[in-house]
Amino acid sequence: MRPIPFLLAFLLLPVRDAFKIPDLRFRETFPLIERAETTENEALFFDMPLDHFGNTSGTFMNRYWINDTYYKPGGPVFLFDSGEQNAEPLLPYYLQEYHGLSATMQLAKRYGGLAILWEHRFYGDSLPFPVNDNTTTAQWQFLTTDQALEDVVYFANAFTLPASANKTSGSEIPNPVHPSITPWVWLGGSYPGVRGALLRVRNPETIFAVWASSAPVHAQIDMAAYYKAAERSLTRNCSADWVAVTKFVDETLQNGTTQQQAEMKFRLLKARLDGPGGNDTGSEGLTVQEAANVSDVDAAGVLMDPLNFYQYYGFQASVLPFCNNLETRNFTALPLESGLAAAHGEETALDAFLTAVAELNYDAIPGDPDDPVQDRSWMWQYCSEYGFYQRGDPSNPLSIETSFRSLQLFQQQCNETFGAGLPTSPQVDHVNKYGGWNMTPSNVLFTNGEFDPWRTMGLASIESNSPQRTPSVAVPACDTAPEFPSFFGLTHANMVHVSDMRVLLTPDANHTDFKTVGFYSPISQEPFYSGLGLFQLALDEWLPCFGKDSNAAAMRQEALSV
């Protein structure tokens, strides 16, 4: 448990510091693997233009890695995108298959391909400018969807094999890995999956095929649907009590007396600070007066603590233990089908809820701290272009999220963090111009988890305002878009976020807690094998047709004549 003074100081911070959006970023916050445990693989750097579209000059060094273990002349390039995070900790797992298998390397092995791990601008060591509180909005203007997509296009057209990987000695082809000569295949999950889908729409001459896992391709400011996916996975009694407790807390904080509001905040914060077995030493320094100074949104946010790891572990592994404790009143009674609130009232349900929060002690689960560069860069991206404001929806009778998390609060956080120069609201049209929910790219596999909160913004969305599209596992013909509303895809039953990009076969120290997870399912190995198998079937169909259309043939001839 955190020391009392630190936690209270945190809770009393301004909104922009204390209130955080659940992000797309995978929890791949692994410490670096010891050099002796993996094959040496030094980072490479590419001189990237700062501005691909304007008159601003200057470049920065964009970091990437390659693995040519399986490369054979003529083989595809498989690019794995790390997205909105430092890419270096991913290297052993995705390019070296440390303690498991990765889709990228398995595909490189099958097709004799070259594997690349790519780092996104403004993350890791690919920084045009230092990222901190002093980064100006004039500098943030170069972190846009289109600038970052064009980075990949520019790189693909300029990239040449390093001497160690060039196995085409004597060949007349000046650049055998140019995208007009050999297919470039993109792999990415979540935001990197979005990027792959956008590139296939935007630059099909550069990116030939894509596997987009858990990709929320439709940008939307209002993402009240985020927690709908979680609610749908709950047992009915747990859902009923969660809804009732949330409404009871919100009502008290909105309309209760000053004393009732202070006491409610005290109860909420005390539950977060206390530990299992009735251990209340963590909350010894907390007073009702101190609790009264905590904002409504931060106090009510305690009710969301049991969902801290839902995005990766799903209901059974991360939420079911909480629901079991709640519905049995800390295992002192039999659960009721109707739930506690319906049978005994909201106060009884709230008491049981807060006891379960204390017993599970989510705040004490160990893990690495967030990366301030990643957090701030991704915040700029969602504040400026993506939105995804995961607000509470008081009009939804099944809402399990506090209504204090409003659209206005999210925008306030963005405005306080970046100030003048930030758009007045996220410019989601910068993303949705490529099709959003209605995109129909060819040569793209979309995979999703049934209960992934980000599925709500993907092609497999079942939200009322989405087009209600249906995935099909029938492999489409090469360069042929499936007929709308169908799309080529697979939904993994009972799975959540990005459950299929790799599989862990030997647990290690980096996989011992909830906070170090991502790009794979920690609860099932099946999604990796089913997703990889389907994508391999697709590539078997698509790769033989590469370069056969007239435009590709002309580009190929131009590249050969350089």
Query: In the structure, what pLDDT confidence band is assigned to residue 216 with cuts at 50, 70 and 90?
Result: very high
Please tell me the predicted confidence (pLDDT) of residue 6.
Answer: 27
Token pair for 133: 């509180």
pLDDT of 162 reads: 83
Q: Per-residue pLDDT averaged across 180-201, rounded?
A: 97
Is the pLDDT reported for residue 559 higher than 50? Answer: no
Rounded to 5 degrees, what are φ and ψ at 233?
-85, -10
283-289 average pLDDT score: 95
Helix spans in 113-235 (H): 137-140, 145-158, 191-202, 226-233
The tokens for 216 are 């929320």
For residue 282, what are the CA distances in angstroms to 11, 192, 274, 294, 301?
15, 40, 5, 17, 18
pLDDT score for 421:
92
Strands 114-118 and 77-81: parallel
Q: Work out the average pLDDT over 315-337.
A: 95
Residue type, 69: T
DSSP per-residue codes, 277-293: GG--GGGTT--HHHHHT
pLDDT of residue 511: 72
pLDDT tens per residue, range 421-465:
999 999 999 999 999 999 999 999 999 999 999 999 999 999 999
Please tell me the predicted confidence (pLDDT) of residue 250.
98
pTM recorded for the entire structure:
0.91
pLDDT at 1 over 50: no
Query: Tell me, what DSSP letter sits at residue 383?
Result: I
pLDDT of 383 = 98
More confident of the two residues 17 and 45: 45
Look up residue 135 and give its two tokens: 């980064």
pLDDT surpassing 70 at residue 249 = yes
Distances (CA, A) of 128 to 52, 142, 202, 274: 13, 9, 24, 44
User: DSSP readout, 456-499?
Assistant: GGSTT---TTS---EEE-SPPPTT-PPPTTEEEEEEETT--SS-
Give the mean pLDDT of 288-305.
96
Report pLDDT for 176.
93
The number of beta carbons lying within 10 Å of the beta carbon of residue 30 is: 21
Helices (H), 68-127: 91-94, 103-111
Per-residue model confidence (pLDDT) at position 26: 45
Between residues 168 and 206, which one has the greater pLDDT? 206
Considering only CA atoms, which of 127, 154, 153 is closest in space to residue 142?
127
- Give Cα 212 to chain centroid, integer Å: 12
Encode pLDDT of 19-32 as tens digits.
555 555 544 445 55
AA letter at 544 = P
With contact defined as beta carbons under 8 Å apart, do 420 and 440 qualify?
no
Place of tokens 């006491």: 263
Residue 127 has pLDDT above 60, yes or no: yes
> Which residues are within 8 A (CB) of 59 and not within 5 positions of it... i.e. 6 or more apart?
47, 48, 49, 50
How much is the mean pLDDT over the chain? 89
**Residue 367 banded pLDDT, cuts 50, 70, 90:** low
- What was the pLDDT predicted at 354? 98
pLDDT in tens, 472-520: 999 999 999 999 999 999 999 999 999 999 998 987 777 766 666 556 7
Cβ(194)–Cβ(83) below 8 Å:
no
pLDDT of 523: 78
| The pLDDT value given to residue 21 | 52
Report the alpha-carbon distance of residue 442 to residue 212 in Å, rounded: 12
